[in-house]
Amino acid sequence: MLDHYADNDWRAERAVITGDLIQDDSAAAYDRFRELLLPLNMRMHCVPGNHDVRHLMRKVCCAPPFSYCAFEEIGDWLIVGLDSCVRGSAGGRVGADELERLADVVAQSPSSHVMVFLHHPPVAMGSAWLDSVGMQNGEEVLHYLEALQKVRLVVFGHVHQPYDAVHSGIRVLATPSTCRQFLPASEDFAVDNRPPAYRRISLLPDGTCETEIIWIDNE
Ligand SMILES: [Fe+2]
């Protein structure tokens, strides 16, 4: 994926990395992540996934150009990363403290539009095994975001497949994995044969976004 980005003309201003950065619980894996991503030469917003080890991840991702569960104002948009992980569990939930932090950041920002990014999906994917490790309080989280009135976009990872729908007036997007994909709508765990991918997102001044998934076909 990084080679594909380097070989093409399209350039991003920020990267949003929605968790599961590593697989083996090692500090060395985060060092490798850092080494691989630094050449992107831009600010990179990271949130943890269920495969991450928070204290190891923070060591790398709290140091610029990385940031960890942080927020940033970009034009008339505020982007905010949330921690949706539950220690010892593949599934997630967004705790009250994290939701309150979001509300405070939104209240203190002059931005008209908010994008939230986190690891776990606040919606069911229609895949029995995957929904059993989804977000416990997704519906509550979506209602909370709706009540903030400025949230236009939610972006998540975890599900290794595309998703694009509107819930409670908020556009909700999943980005496929930069590695292997999961088979959509599968009752049991199954790997899809689609290639790695990333998503380009342009945040527009009117609160909408343009977005496209780029599949790395390696033709
Ligand atoms: Fe995950």
pLDDT tens, residue by residue, 60-115: 999 999 999 999 999 999 999 999 999 999 999 999 999 999 999 999 999 999 99
**CA 62–ligand 1 middle distance (angstroms):** 20
Tens-place pLDDT, residues 135-165: 999 999 999 999 999 999 999 999 999 999 9
Q: How far apart are CA 78 and CA 39, in angstroms?
A: 25
198 CA distance to ligand 1 middle (Å): 16
DSSP state of 23: S
Distance from the alpha carbon of residue 74 to the mean position of ligand 1, in angstroms? 27
CA dihedral 193→196→202→203, nearest 10 degrees, is: 80
Angle between helices 54-61 and 27-37 (to 10 degrees): 30
Distance 32 CA to ligand 1 centre (A): 19
Instruction: Give the global pTM.
Output: 0.96
For residue 143, what pLDDT is reported?
A: 97
For residues 176-203, average pLDDT = 96
Residue 219 pLDDT: 54
Give the C-alpha separation, 3 to 104, whole Å: 38
Listed in sequence order, the DSSP H helices in the chain are 2-6, 27-37, 54-61, 96-108, 128-131, 138-147
Whether omega before 39 lies within 30 degrees of 0, making that bond cis, reads no
Q: pLDDT exceeding 70 applies to what percent of the chain?
A: 99
